[in-house]
Structure 1
Amino acid sequence: MDRQPLRLNSATAAVDAVLEKLGKRIVLGLPLGLGKANHFANALYARAAEDPSISLTIFTALTLERPSGTGEIGRRFTQPLLDRLYNQYQELAYTQPRHRGKLPPNIQVCEFFLLTGAFLHNAEAQQSHVCANYTLVVRDLLDRGVNVIAQMVSPGAGGDTFSLSCNPDLTLPLLRETRQIPDYQLLVLGESNPQLPYLAGDSELPATEFDLILEGEQFDTPPFPVPSLPVSLTDYAIALQISTLIADGGSLEIGIGTLGDAICHVLGIRQTDNDTYRRLFAAVNADDSLMLRQRFPPQLESFVRGLYGVSEMVPQGFLALRRNRILKREVFADAALQKLLDEEKITTRVTEDTLLALRDCGRIQAPLTVEDTEFLQRLGIVDPSYSWRGHKLLTAEGEEEECDLHSEHGRRRLLGRCANEKLRGGVWLHGGFYLGPASMYAELRDMAPAERAGICMTAIDFINDLQRDRALKVAQRRQARFVNSAMMVTLNGAAVSDGLADSQVVSGVGGQYNFVAQAQELQDGRSILALASTRESRGKVTSNIVWQYPHTTIPRHLRDIVVTEYGVADLRGKTDRDVMVAMLCIADSRFQPELLQRAKAAGKVERDFVIPLEFSANRPDRITAAFDEPQYLGLLPYFPLGTDFSEEEAMLAVALKQLKAVGNRWWKMLPLILDGRRVRRDHSEKNQPIHRCLERMDFEYTDTFEHRLLAYVVAGALYRYIDRERPLCGS
């Protein structure tokens, strides 16, 4: 008889049960991002903080935090968000002590991926960071002696099953590995939240897999929302370049962030308004600029066969790709069947040819075996009414049926009601974890069951590398494009994505190295690293294409494709000289002379080399001019996938993002103050949106001089930095 989990409605009682079972040394594994069991983790943290004899190590990644905002403007923007979006969220108790460097001596928090930029120069977090490839984290957990996994789960009907939903990524392989270790003691706790979308497939587990289940109203809360951020024209320019590298019938991985939103939106334009899409691409690229991608002529046609998604992170944009009939290429969990589909010897419609092709390739025998029949019935190829009794295949009426596939009549009888139906078990999206705005979670919850069945959340080692089930993955991942962001790229093609020169960790390696290496192994796979050519901080513009850097995430020998807003550099297999020339051509022209001089001084580029004319005008105004038509700007909203923000909050998010970039230098602020003072006094209809934003910030009726200045700055930013030709949100 299967053991049943202990069901409790108190996190404190769960802590009692865990300590009684395991003693006072606890190594707690919490999933990355959304899926943490916050109530249990907080109760355990509180107990350890009270009792120094308890040794508690928390191993996790991407701890989500309620936005706090910096300064008076940040506080005024975020406070209403806290009241509306996060009023039921229970923040992890270790978050604030960790920020202050005040964790109790008996508690350690280790993360392999930090909330981006949140812990720079935080000694506690920097010292306890674990630098690891995503696929190797299970190994690291086992090395540390993890003995508790605590995860938010979605309950199935009747309470007999639970879905790991947003985070099967590490839990599934950890369960698999610990089962192979004799006497390994691992307690699995599920914190049941009915508001978490229920996803079946690999993510669905029987209740008997859990030792403890926490249930009750206090755990029934909205999952943590991550509102989309505004997409810049630079993001759209990069997305246009990337979109032309994605071939119909291929596979796609995209990371989180505004660039991912832009890519998914641009692919939607390619599908639904192909003529405009082609004009947009032509506006950003001159014919001569395509010389860097001779092996990759632009893919501009709309999608007929569609794409298959295989992504460690499932962003909201993938759901938009599905709605636009782009993410529609289904894959199946059998290498032989998948290969037949890839070679177009069969289709996803069940016919006699399906049986014959599987027989001819040796996947099934003739006559059929018991295993063959079960395999075919699982895929919806053989009528489910047939069953084996002894050595005979019988109909529902108990009659013996031929099973050697030799006759047309016999094949048709075997197909039965399955004839001309779709193959079962097709998956259009494999993911490791998901994270996004509240609207994304609602869409997953409301999705029709048959549609949701095409999403398979699964183990991260299935997504991120090829070691397990290699033949199957190679068959599924045709023309794979793995798209990730970098912070900087050196002139010789090495990428900096997770840390700074002084070893400060910005985020983490995550799965980026995995995907770059995987792309090198797949015959037609490619890794695409994307970045804006420059960044602006406190009013200073800096090149993201650099000569060298003391820290790199992706070594130069794995260089592949690099994309900026100015073009695509295909680096794979190129000489050092040609790599550097290609990188120079997609750099911002303000920084090309210095970079070129460094390359010449090192003897990597010939002394008489000159930047080609077609790449000598790589400046922001070129991108602005390319999009500067109402018909184009109207297709490039700030929030292409929608947003959890109100209209006023969306406008403020756009303006404040730009305000942060330009910094607070007086010569930058003075024009904003003057514009803002004028706009604030002008209550005409055209300025009403700005006044609504000021009211949202509680700036409309400020009395103090300091607050009036801040109001002027915000009003000036709203006036200057929001392009009225661009819509706020996509449809």
Structure 2
Amino acid sequence: MRPAPTFLASLDDAVEVLLARVPGPLHVGAPLGLGKPHRLLNALYHRVAADPTRPLHLYTALSLDPPEPGEGLQARFLAPFVRRHFGDEFPRLAYVEALRRDALPAHVEVEEFYLQSGALLGSPAAQRRYTSLNYTHVARALAERGLNAIVQKVAREPGDAPPTRLSLSCNTDVTLDALDAVAARGLPRPLLIAEIDPSLPWLGGSAAVPTELFDVVVEPPGPHPQLFGLPRQPVADADYAIGFHASTLVRDGGTLQIGIGALADALSHALVLRHTDNATYRAVLRALGSPRADDPALAPFAVGLYGCSEMINEGFRRLVQVGVVGRKVVDDLAVMQRVEGGSADADDLARLARDGEYLHGAFYLGSPELYAWLRALPDAERRAIGMRRVSAINDLDGPEEPLKRLQRREARFFNTCMMATALGAATSDALDGGRVVSGVGGQYNFVAMAHAMPDARSILLLRAIRDSGGRTSSNVVWSYGHTTIPRHLRDVYVSEYGIADVRGKADEDCVIAMAAIADARFQAGLLAAAEANLKLRRGFTAPGRWADNTPEALRERLAPHRAAGALPDYPLGSDFTPVEQRLARALGWLKAHADHKLHIAVRAMTGAATDDFEALQRMQLDRPQGAQEWLQSRLLGLALRMTA
């Protein structure tokens, strides 16, 4: 039995213990996302940054940082929101600020395997020290680097004082796997320091560990900063079209994995509508021209889904609440064999109801509403959520493979990508020059797992076009200088214009399927490139229906359902107030028309003033001072009218 940990109340004291017990260079691991102890890491960074004799190598991922307000109208909108949403006391990570300024001390190195999307594209240090890893390989890489300390945020069990158990809560993903990987190499056990956060929801089961797992437990006094809440983004027409098309691929009684962002929110809303208002759900599918709009298999869920996803997010909260996610599994091969074979007896069914879990994840991250939901769950529902190691979630390998295959029947693994080639490769994490936008994470894991199970599918979601710098480009391209998923693992792609099932297809058939879900403006170029490269027969004629693949046609199809309230801007709830939601639409319109600045400015100055006084007041433009504020108020007024 391990000795009891040292309990401390001071973050600085915890740093002193770390420095005293770990001689020489520090090789410190910290969880991704919510489980990163910001205040402890800041205390360590500030101490080490001033002492070149103690080199620090920090290994982590997804270093969450609130958005910078920027300038102009964006700053007027974001600055008050950031203060309210994140709180004045939220500790920005000192090493992230240094990375942004390219100001890390020479003896400090930060190595991440997943970056906050787009946040560090301009950071030389972050780009140089990025490590491209599958999520399941992180623990092995940590051991190879000589990991000698792990710091992690944990939850305290209510009423347990002094604590005898702690919950890894939001991050069961890598810590235990890393300890095993270090032990397998015969290396000394890393020093483990836990920081208790009273706001972190308690989750038991496999997330609960004895306090003795840690060498030091620090419980600093308040005030405690808010948990990092991801602001929920509005769902556009293209996002909804993608989500509804994708939802037709989900089978009742199957397994679901989803990512994060507006596309995941749209998919979740579509599944909710399929279950709670099936007539409206089918009406939206008909408007989109889906060939499955009248498929009897798309009835409300009778059995429900089992959620098995590296990340538990906002969508899963809603899917659990309405009963879409509810198919339980147990970690007993014999019981699952009888359940799946239809021979389960009363004892098996009673155990499934009592001990079964319907949602497994390796980490969770979302809005304050998600965290409040987890904290308030009744015990029976909380027991149905099992936080697991990432090796258990993202992989089939190991002695539990037969059990996982039974549990994960008819799995549908949904992830997003930035671009896809006409031959079926996907670009999800980096630009063609090598600069990293985010990371591979678990995407490859789920693609490979889908190909390893006969009834599973990997579905990559992408918007057909992107607008940047006043230019519209296709996200379905002939080729690209970087790929995340190779073409030989192509499976299913979904854009706002439909579904391309390209698993096992010949190259010509893949090209035709991918061109069919591309924007009409770029189809001819794709087909010409395919013909020039001997991948398409001469004289191929695109079907006439492909010409309808335009944003204007899509907007017209969905407009009645938008007006009827079936497709709200924020289907899973919003972190913005009603006036901020109006402002977000208006600012989005201005951004989309940024390439016509002079024309927009003239329209704003010569048009009528807005009567949305509340919006002007929120932006502190109700009484403009000087020419610049007057112009800002007029631009905002025009955008508010155009998006009303």
- For residue 212 of structure 1, the aligned residue among 203, 209, 216 is 216
- For residue 248 of structure 1, the aligned residue among 248, 252, 255 is 252
Whole-angstrom CA distance in 2 between matches of 1:111 and 1:147: 17
Asked whether the 8 Å contact 1:559–1:571 carries over to 2, the reply is yes
Asked whether the 8 Å contact 1:340–1:346 carries over to 2, the reply is yes
Mind listing any 5+ residue stretches in structure 2 that lack a counterpart?
Answer: none
| Counterpart position of 1:458 | 388
Whole-angstrom CA distance in 1 between matches of 2:621 and 2:192: 50
More moved, 153-162 vs 486-495:
153-162
More moved, 317-326 vs 76-85:
76-85
Deviation, 1:237, is 0.4
- For residue 535 of structure 1, the aligned residue among 466, 478, 499 is 466
Deviation, 1:511, is 0.6
- For residue 195 of structure 2, the aligned residue among 191, 209, 213 is 191
Letter of the aligned partner of 2:105 in structure 1? P
Deviation, 1:193, is 0.8
CA offsets, 1:294-320, max 9 Å, x none?
Answer: xx9784211000000011111111010
Would you say 1:264 and 2:194 are equivalent positions? no
Deviation, 1:674, is 4.7
Would you say 1:161 and 2:165 are equivalent positions? yes
Q: Mapping of 1:319-718 within 5 angstroms? A: 319-346=317-344, 350-351=346-347, 354=348, 423-468=353-398, 469-629=400-560, 633-667=564-598, 669-670=600-601, 673-674=604-605, 678-680=608-610, 683=611, 690-718=612-640
Greater C-alpha Rg = 1
CA offsets, 1:241-286, max 9 Å, x none?
Answer: 0000000000000001011111111111100110111111011015
Whole-angstrom CA distance in 2 between matches of 1:558 and 1:342: 29
SS at 2:27 equivalent: strand
Whole-angstrom CA distance in 2 between matches of 1:5 and 1:456: 26
Deviation, 1:576, is 0.2
CA offsets, 1:435-462, max 9 Å, x none?
Answer: 1111111111011111011111110111
In angstroms, what is the RMSD of aligned CA positions?
Answer: 1.9
Would you say 1:174 and 2:178 are equivalent positions? yes
Asked whether the 8 Å contact 1:537–1:660 carries over to 2, the reply is no
Query: Structure 1's 521 and 657: CA in aligned 2 closer, same or farther, altered over 3 A?
Result: same
Would you say 1:23 and 2:23 are equivalent positions? yes
Asked whether the 8 Å contact 2:2–2:213 carries over to 1, the reply is no
| Counterpart position of 1:94 | 95
Whole-angstrom CA distance in 2 between matches of 1:319 and 1:609: 46
Letter of the aligned partner of 1:307 in structure 2? L
Whole-angstrom CA distance in 2 between matches of 1:655 and 1:172: 47
- For residue 312 of structure 1, the aligned residue among 310, 313, 331 is 310
Letter of the aligned partner of 2:311 in structure 1? M
Deviation, 1:714, is 2.0
Query: Structure 1's 72 and 524: CA in aligned 2 closer, same or farther, altered over 3 A?
Result: same
Asked whether the 8 Å contact 1:538–1:661 carries over to 2, the reply is no
Query: Structure 1's 171 and 219: CA in aligned 2 closer, same or farther, altered over 3 A?
Result: farther
Query: Structure 1's 715 and 632: CA in aligned 2 closer, same or farther, altered over 3 A?
Result: closer
More moved, 273-282 vs 240-249:
273-282
More moved, 613-622 vs 135-144:
613-622
Whole-angstrom CA distance in 1 between matches of 2:253 and 2:357: 14
Asked whether the 8 Å contact 1:192–1:213 carries over to 2, the reply is yes
Asked whether the 8 Å contact 1:332–1:338 carries over to 2, the reply is yes
Deviation, 1:217, is 2.1
Query: Structure 1's 68 and 613: CA in aligned 2 closer, same or farther, altered over 3 A?
Result: same
Q: Mapping of 1:114-153 within 5 angstroms? A: 114-153=115-154
Whole-angstrom CA distance in 2 between matches of 1:539 and 1:668: 14
Asked whether the 8 Å contact 1:192–1:214 carries over to 2, the reply is yes
TM-score by length of 2: 0.96
CA offsets, 1:455-495, max 9 Å, x none?
Answer: 11110111111113111110000100000001000000000
| Counterpart position of 1:51 | 51
Whole-angstrom CA distance in 1 between matches of 2:350 and 2:522: 59
| Counterpart position of 1:411 | none
Asked whether the 8 Å contact 1:316–1:440 carries over to 2, the reply is yes
Whole-angstrom CA distance in 2 between matches of 1:498 and 1:63: 16
Deviation, 1:692, is 1.2
Deviation, 1:128, is 0.9
Letter of the aligned partner of 2:449 in structure 1? Q
Letter of the aligned partner of 2:268 in structure 1? C
CA offsets, 1:106-165, max 9 Å, x none?
Answer: 101111111111111321111111111111011111111111111110011231111111
Deviation, 1:607, is 1.0
Asked whether the 8 Å contact 1:662–1:668 carries over to 2, the reply is no
Query: Structure 1's 37 and 344: CA in aligned 2 closer, same or farther, altered over 3 A?
Result: same
Asked whether the 8 Å contact 1:536–1:542 carries over to 2, the reply is yes
Asked whether the 8 Å contact 2:561–2:567 carries over to 1, the reply is no
Whole-angstrom CA distance in 2 between matches of 1:141 and 1:178: 8
Asked whether the 8 Å contact 2:280–2:566 carries over to 1, the reply is no
Query: Structure 1's 49 and 446: CA in aligned 2 closer, same or farther, altered over 3 A?
Result: same
Mind listing any 5+ residue stretches in structure 1 that lack a counterpart?
Answer: 355-378, 382-421, 684-689, 723-731
| Counterpart position of 1:79 | 79
Deviation, 1:616, is 2.3
| Counterpart position of 1:3 | 3
CA offsets, 1:670-719, max 9 Å, x none?
Answer: 366258x5133xx3xxxxxx321221111111121112212222222222
| Counterpart position of 1:407 | none
TM-score by length of 1: 0.85
Percent identical: 40
Query: Structure 1's 553 and 492: CA in aligned 2 closer, same or farther, altered over 3 A?
Result: same
| Counterpart position of 1:104 | 105
Deviation, 1:25, is 1.1
Would you say 1:200 and 2:200 are equivalent positions? no
Letter of the aligned partner of 2:106 in structure 1? P
Query: Structure 1's 250 and 258: CA in aligned 2 closer, same or farther, altered over 3 A?
Result: same
Asked whether the 8 Å contact 2:147–2:182 carries over to 1, the reply is no
More moved, 16-25 vs 182-191:
182-191
Query: Structure 1's 457 and 655: CA in aligned 2 closer, same or farther, altered over 3 A?
Result: farther
Query: Structure 1's 53 and 219: CA in aligned 2 closer, same or farther, altered over 3 A?
Result: farther
Letter of the aligned partner of 2:419 in structure 1? M
Asked whether the 8 Å contact 1:491–1:579 carries over to 2, the reply is yes
Query: Structure 1's 248 and 703: CA in aligned 2 closer, same or farther, altered over 3 A?
Result: same
Whole-angstrom CA distance in 2 between matches of 1:208 and 1:268: 42
Whole-angstrom CA distance in 1 between matches of 2:460 and 2:53: 47
Deviation, 1:640, is 0.7
CA offsets, 1:500-527, max 9 Å, x none?
Answer: 1111111111111111000000110000
SS at 2:354 equivalent: coil
Deviation, 1:630, is 5.1
Whole-angstrom CA distance in 1 between matches of 2:583 and 2:461: 27
Aligned residues: 639
Query: Structure 1's 668 and 14: CA in aligned 2 closer, same or farther, altered over 3 A?
Result: farther
Deviation, 1:223, is 0.8
Whole-angstrom CA distance in 1 between matches of 2:449 and 2:23: 42
